[in-house]
A = this chain, B = another copy of it.
């Protein structure tokens, strides 16, 4: 199958690497809003301008849209789904129903198929919430994020006067995680489940006390959390905090038996060295699935919930039953 990438940031490069690993995929090109000649891809895949995308209508089986959820994807995905089978990683949870409706209408105009919100949350974490709640209806869900870099929170610190750069880690609180895993069913706010570690590079002579206070009292982002602020040099930031790790756990605890006498704990957890490369790997597996579904005549907007797992694998159903079941 032939893939193309629309947008070439961290996620686009991750998709390039994942497609490179897949035995059954060929990467046709990378499409960028920048001047194509200024971009060099990791694997030598050709670069084209987004303005030329429609010339590739018959040369691409699935187009992977690697844009931001705030402003890019709400426009890009519907408009591209009219002409291509597409996958995106739209992650504004509250806006998913509207995005789904827009993409569904656009894709159906020309019999295309689209999959939105692929990745790990939304994505694999969502799938595990669904499976676990269907199996244990009498139970409770917990999602912990981290230890990992939160891009949004890092950006919020960078906007403070006197801050040159920053990295924020979301860290699950071990006692909260242990209580959940023990099946104690605690009631926990997000702030009781996580603390926030901030590493900040300040301008020379900046008022460090003020910066720390502004971080710790920032509403929504930090005020409701146990937050630590550590000032470091630009060199330390580059040396110790240049990665983009992330991960977390989806846990469901529930009971079975006539009187609810038996407890069960289902946990799905991820430890990721590279958030964008793992997200890209999920996207590429789901691109394989929607290509198969398109070949069977399916169309319109899908989410990870709609995909039969068999379609994600390059192996045949017979091989999967014989070796993986």
Contacts and interface: CB of A to CB of B under 8 A. Distances in A.
Contact of A256 (B18, B128, B271, B324): B18
B271 A268 contact: no
Contact of A257 (B17, B124, B320): B17
Q: Give the oligomeric copy count.
A: 2
A66 to B, nearest CB: 15
B262 A324 contact: no
A129 interface: yes
Interface residues of A, number: 71
Contacts of A156: none
A118 to B, nearest CB: 11
Contact of A278 (B131, B256, B305): B256
A176 interface: no
A267 B20 CA distance: 25
A264 B257 contact: no
Given A127-B309, A134-B285, A256-B18, A325 B277 contact: no
Interface stretch (A79-87, A93-101, A224-232): A93-101
B325 A122 contact: yes
A70 interface: no
A258 interface: yes
Nearest to A132: B124
A274 B21 CA distance: 41
Contacts of A278: 135, 256, 264
A267 B250 CA distance: 11
A138 B22 CA distance: 9
A51 to B, nearest CB: 28
Contacts of A265: 269-272
Given A14-B256, A17-B258, A256-B18, A312 B134 contact: yes
12 contacts: A20-B258, A96-B322, A97-B318, A135-B285, A256-B274, A256-B281, A263-B273, A264-B272, A267-B270, A269-B269, A304-B325, A306-B309
Given A127-B131, A303-B321, 20 more contacts: A96-B325, A97-B318, A124-B135, A126-B325, A129-B324, A134-B285, A134-B314, A137-B314, A256-B273, A256-B280, A256-B281, A262-B273, A262-B274, A264-B272, A264-B274, A265-B269, A265-B270, A266-B268, A305-B321, A306-B309
Interface of A: 14, 17-18, 20-23, 42-43, 93, 96-97, 100, 117, 122, 124, 126-131, 133-138, 181, 183, 256-258, 262-274, 277-278, 280-282, 285, 288, 303-310, 312-314, 317-318, 320-322, 324-325
